[in-house]
Each structure stands twice: as C-alpha cells, then as structure tokens.
C-alpha cells in the first residue's frame, strides 16, 4: 500500500473543504429569504412531517422520519440568499458535533447489552418471579408495573418492554381477571419508569449528552424524582386493582406463563447491576456497558441461557472459502447461498439503532442550520424575554416545552433531540445544573411517549394486543384495549410529569451549576 502525501489535486480539494468548513464555523450567519425565522424551516418541516407520519398516519417508522428530515434540509436550502455553500457546510458542521457522536456510541453499546440479556431469558426470569409470587387479580397490575419497570431498566427500551409484557403478562393477567385497561396502563407505566431511569436507555443517553452531563450522575440524580412517582403509582395500582373489575374468562394463566418461566434468567439482574454500579461510580459509559455485556455473555453461556450463536452467528454460504474449515465453530453455520448473513444479539442490538443514528445526525444538522440562521436565537430571546423570566418560570417552561413537543412527536427520542438545545440554553441562562436540566428533559420525554393514544409506546402495545385473538381462542375482540381508553391509567407517566411540575414550582431537587460539577465530559 502506498503511504505518503496525497497528490496535489486531492490535497487541494481536502484543504479547500477544510477551509470551507472553518469558514462555516467562523461565519455567524446564513441569510434566508423571509428572515431568520426561515432558518427554522428544516426542523419545523421535520416536526410537521413527524406529526403527520407518526400521529396522523400512525406509521412508527424511524427511517421514515429520516426521509422527512432530508427533504426539510433540501427545501430549506432553496430559501438561502446567495451561495448555498455555507448552508451545505453547516450541515456537515452540525453532523460532526460531539453531542451526536457520543449519543451514537452509547446507543450502539446499549443496544448490544439489551439484546444480549433478552437473548439470555431475562423476561423468562421475570415471568418466573411473577409465578412464584402467586398473586391474584388485585395485585397483578401493581406487580406487572414493578416487573415491567425492572425489565425496562435493564434493557433501556420501553418499546421492547411493552412488546414483551403485552405478549405475556397481559393475557395472563386477563385470565386472572385483572382489569385489561389497568393492566395495559401498568405495563406502559413500567416502560416509562425504565425509559426514564435506565443508563442504557436511548432517552437517558440523549438527555445526559445534550446537557453536558455524565450518564451515571444523571441516573443517580434522577432517582429521587422517579422513585417518588413510582411509589405513588404502585400504591395507585394496588388500589385501582381492587376497585376495577376484570373480565371473567375460563382458562388457566399458568398455561401462558409456564412456557416462558425460567428462574435462571434473573441472573441478569446482576448484569444490570454491573452497568448501573460502574456507570454511577463514574466510569465511562462505554466501559460500564462493556462490563455489562461481558457479564451477560458469561451468564448466558455458563448457565445455558442462550447458545453462542444466539449472541453472534455467521451464516455463510457453502462455497465460501472458509465455510468448511470454520463450520465446526458454534458461531458459524453453513446456509444456502442466498441466506448469507450475520446475526445474533450483538449484531441486532447495534443494528436496531441504525435508523435513529442517521436521524439524529440529520436533526443535529437541522438544528445547526437554525443556530447559524438566527432562528434558534429568535425563539430563545422570545422565551427568555416573555415566558421564562424567572427561574421558576424557566423550569416550568422547560417542563411545558418538553411536554408539548413530546405530545406532538410520538417517537420520543426524536422529540427529545429536537427540544434539547432549548432546554440547555434556557437552563444555562439561569445557571441550572446539567443534571437537573437532563432530568427535566427526560421526564416528559419518557412519560408522554407512553400516554396519549397516538404515542409510539401505546401504539406498539396496542399492535401487540390486537394480535392476541389470533393466538388464544379465549381472547375476544372485547378484551382488546382501545388506545384512547388507557391514557388515564398510565399512572407513573402522569405522576412523573406532576412531580416535575411540583419540583419546578417548589424548587425540589433544584441544583445550580456551582452546587455540583458534572463528572468530566469524557466520562459521559
């Protein structure tokens, strides 16, 4: 391989590109026809697209939002006065910001961990715990909330938790004569709890990274709000479980749960613990989750919870040069030529985040256009001069703003990324600590993504429930919960919003920048 300086043409091109990139960074402005408000077009177009796609058309496809953001960026460029070069370079400038890169890296690691403990039967462990507790209809929703919260805290995905629990605990609970609406609400509440608190949750990661705070510190500082809401929610599910009647169905819940019951799966509580303890102790999030992955893989293999091929598998065609030689390995399988692939939890966990990664890069690019075009400053000035005029009003505005955006955009991580710069700037204008800002940002993001009938989390669960009549003879259409009926019963979600409103007004948990410094940024 030739090593040396690039030829002159290539060198000139690169230098030219670097100069243009620097120019974009140095220049403070992109002028738009229609004034600085037009710089908000790409993001505004994206938000409108997201509302139509996810809310009105009920298409929860993150890759679809990528198309919306791309089109927004293209149309936005048409309104630029003069050369479009600065606009184009600003897109690059936005995409190469550290805030995007760090979130992406953390997501990839979190995805691998989550899929690996799921491959290792963590859900089966929770099913076993529910069976062992031998609870009746009254307590079943409360315990479901607790176990769903535990799963979501381990795997960091509320959607994954909702799918797993609506497929297993929901039909089992109905056979126990627990109220279906309450049960669905309890599952969604558990999803909110984990999405909000898990160090491997995509929303937790975004909230910490965008507010310049370490993830472990954010999780620890968030605990006080989450636990206050969760204790009240748990009590509410116990009370409501006694007051709300279920549907009488002939059948045995054991038949649903026993197939998926495996006590050994609970060892992954230790895998979760490895991540949480190391992250909160201040270790780098990549290091913390890597420990979790290592522990989970060892448990999976040592206890026979999954095969090596469930974790990583090369499916190779028989005519591949190394196919015969390596086919004896547990992670290599010879398949028909057309089916060659790599699979397993390590692969699928990372791959699951690819659409969100691309979307994040584009949203951050759109936000940078808005900053360079002055639209960001205009909105910020309006908020600071007219709405957020005191620290209480600033925090209330932050709570209300995140609620509004998350109420409209049902894919909650995308909503969180869009609102994050405002939370940062409004909060910093009152020297509100990064941990506090991250907590305000994530609470509504986690909560409202699972409350309204058009929310992504509710739709994911509803889709799963609508498939149950096909799976169980006794499950009738009357047992399918309408998404519009459940929103009042997502107790933990509502309580989390309420806790933060009260916290904003009373100062509960408020910390200023000088009260506590975040761990160094590199620890994230």
Interatomic CA distance for residues 351 and 24, integer angstroms: 32
Is residue 96 at the binding interface for other proteins, with CB under 8 A as the rule?
Answer: no
Stretch that binds other proteins, among 150-158, 253-261, 440-448, 511-519 (CB under 8 A): 511-519
CA 449 to chain centre: 10
Toward other proteins, which CB reaches closer, 328 or 514? 514
Q: What is the DSSP string of 278-347?
A: HHHTT--HHHHHHHHHHHHHHHHHHTTSS-HHHH-EEEEETTSTTHHHHTTSTTEEEE-GGG-EEESHHH
Q: Which of residues 433-462 bind other proteins (CB under 8 A)?
A: 435-436
Toward other proteins, which CB reaches closer, 117 or 208? 208
Name which position in 6, 136, 242, 507 contacts other proteins (CB under 8 A): 507
CB of 426 to other proteins, least distance (A): 11
Stretch that binds other proteins, among 134-142, 172-180, 318-326, 424-432 (CB under 8 A): 424-432
Is residue 170 at the binding interface for other proteins, with CB under 8 A as the rule?
Answer: no
Is residue 467 at the binding interface for other proteins, with CB under 8 A as the rule?
Answer: no
Residue 505 has phi, psi (to 5 degrees) of -80, -40
Radius of gyration of the chain (CA): 24
CB of 292 to other proteins, least distance (A): 16
Least Cα distance to 128 among 238, 255, 264 occurs for: 264
CB of 88 to other proteins, least distance (A): 21
Name which position in 431, 467, 476, 482 contacts other proteins (CB under 8 A): 431
Site map (CB under 8 A) of other proteins, residues 270-289, x = contact? -------x--xx--------
CB of 388 to other proteins, least distance (A): 11
Residue 492 has phi, psi (to 5 degrees) of -65, -35
CB 516 within 8 A of CB 510: no
223 burial via Cβ count (<10 Å: 0-12, 13-18, 19+)? middle
Interatomic CA distance for residues 108 and 316, integer angstroms: 24
> Across the strands, what pairs with 314?
332, 342
Q: Is the dihedral of CA 296, 195, 193, 199 positive or negative?
A: positive
Count other Cβ atoms within 10 Å, centred on residue 88.
15
CB of 275 to other proteins, least distance (A): 14
Stretch that binds other proteins, among 330-338, 389-397, 453-461, 478-486 (CB under 8 A): 389-397
Q: Are strands 332-335 and 341-343 parallel, antiparallel or unpaired?
A: unpaired
Least Cα distance to 412 among 368, 459, 346, 365 occurs for: 459
CB of 114 to other proteins, least distance (A): 23
CA 13 to chain centre: 39
CA 170 to chain centre: 23
Stretch that binds other proteins, among 125-133, 162-170, 197-205, 426-434 (CB under 8 A): 426-434
Is residue 516 at the binding interface for other proteins, with CB under 8 A as the rule?
Answer: yes
Is residue 377 at the binding interface for other proteins, with CB under 8 A as the rule?
Answer: no
Q: Which of residues 303-362 bind other proteins (CB under 8 A)?
A: none
Toward other proteins, which CB reaches closer, 437 or 492? 437
Site map (CB under 8 A) of other proteins, residues 487-506, x = contact? -------------------x
Residue 432 DSSP code? B
CB of 512 to other proteins, least distance (A): 5
Is residue 40 at the binding interface for other proteins, with CB under 8 A as the rule?
Answer: no
Count other Cβ atoms within 10 Å, centred on residue 83.
9
Is residue 371 at the binding interface for other proteins, with CB under 8 A as the rule?
Answer: yes
User: Which are the contacts of 142, defined by CB distance < 8 A and separation ≥ 6?
Assistant: 186, 234, 237, 238, 241
Helix 122-133 vs helix 140-155: angle between axes, to the nearest 10 degrees? 160
Number of chain positions touching other proteins (CB under 8 A) = 41
Toward other proteins, which CB reaches closer, 179 or 396? 396
Name which position in 131, 429, 453, 501 contacts other proteins (CB under 8 A): 429
Q: Which of residues 188-247 bind other proteins (CB under 8 A)?
A: 210-212, 216-217, 220-221, 223-224
Toward other proteins, which CB reaches closer, 264 or 429? 429
Is residue 513 at the binding interface for other proteins, with CB under 8 A as the rule?
Answer: yes
Length of the chain equals 524
Name which position in 9, 390, 473, 477 contacts other proteins (CB under 8 A): 390
Residues that bind other proteins (CB under 8 A): 99, 210-212, 216-217, 220-221, 223-224, 277, 280-281, 367, 371, 376, 390-392, 421, 424-425, 428-432, 435-436, 506-517
């Amino acid at each position: 391989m030739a090593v040396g300086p690039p030829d002159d043409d290539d060198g000139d091109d690169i230098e030219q590109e670097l100069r243009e990139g620097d120019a974009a960074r140095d220049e403070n402005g992109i002028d738009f026809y229609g004034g600085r408000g037009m710089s908000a077009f790409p993001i505004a177009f994206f938000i409108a697209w997201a509302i139509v796609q996810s809310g009105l058309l009920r298409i929860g496809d993150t890759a679809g939002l990528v198309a919306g953001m791309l089109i927004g960026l293209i149309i936005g460029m048409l309104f630029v006065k003069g050369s479009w070069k600065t606009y184009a370079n600003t897109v690059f400038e936005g995409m190469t910001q550290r805030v995007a890169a760090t979130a992406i890296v953390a997501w990839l690691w979190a995805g691998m961990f989550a899929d690996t403990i799921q491959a290792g039967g963590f859900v089966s462990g929770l099913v076993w715990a529910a069976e062992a507790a031998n609870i009746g209809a009254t307590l079943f929703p409360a315990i479901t909330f607790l176990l769903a919260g535990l799963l979501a805290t381990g795997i960091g995905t509320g959607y994954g938790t909702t799918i797993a629990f609506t497929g297993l605990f929901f039909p089992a609970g109905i056979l126990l004569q627990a109220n279906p609406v309450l049960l669905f609400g309890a599952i969604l509440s558990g999803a909110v709890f984990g999405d909000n608190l898990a160090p491997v949750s995509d929303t937790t990661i975004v909230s910490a990274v965008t507010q310049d705070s370490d993830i472990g510190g954010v999780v620890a500082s968030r605990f006080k709000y989450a636990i206050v809401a969760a204790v009240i929610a748990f009590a509410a599910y116990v009370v409501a479980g006694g007051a709300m009647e279920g549907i009488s169905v002939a059948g045995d819940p054991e038949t649903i749960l026993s197939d998926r019951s495996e006590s050994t799966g609970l060892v992954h509580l230790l895998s979760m613990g490895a991540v949480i303890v190391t992250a909160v102790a201040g270790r780098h999030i990549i290091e913390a989750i890597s420990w979790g992955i290592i522990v989970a893989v060892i448990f999976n293999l040592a206890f026979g919870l999954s095969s090596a091929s469930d974790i990583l598998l090369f499916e190779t065609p028989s005519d591949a040069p190394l196919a015969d030689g390596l086919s004896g390995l547990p992670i290599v399988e010879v398949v028909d030529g057309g089916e060659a692939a790599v699979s397993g939890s390590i692969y699928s966990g990372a791959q699951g985040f690819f659409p969100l990664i691309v979307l994040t890069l584009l949203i951050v690019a759109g936000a940078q256009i808005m900053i360079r075009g002055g639209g960001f400053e205009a909105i910020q000035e309006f908020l600071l001069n007219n709405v957020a005029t005191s620290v209480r009003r600033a925090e209330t505005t932050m709570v209300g703003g995140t609620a509004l955006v998350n109420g409209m955009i049902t894919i909650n991580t995308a909503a969180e990324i869009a609102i994050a710069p405002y939370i940062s700037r409004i909060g910093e204008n009152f020297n509100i600590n990064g941990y506090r800002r991250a907590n305000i940002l994530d609470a509504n993001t986690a909560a409202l993504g699972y409350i309204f009938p058009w929310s992504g989390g509710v739709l994911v669960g509803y889709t799963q429930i609508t498939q149950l009549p096909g799976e169980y003879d006794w499950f009738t259409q009357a047992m399918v919960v309408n998404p519009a009926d459940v929103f009042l019963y997502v107790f933990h979600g509502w309580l989390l919003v309420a806790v933060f409103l009260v916290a904003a007004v009373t100062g509960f948990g408020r910390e200023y920048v000088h009260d506590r410094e975040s761990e160094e940024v590199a620890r994230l």
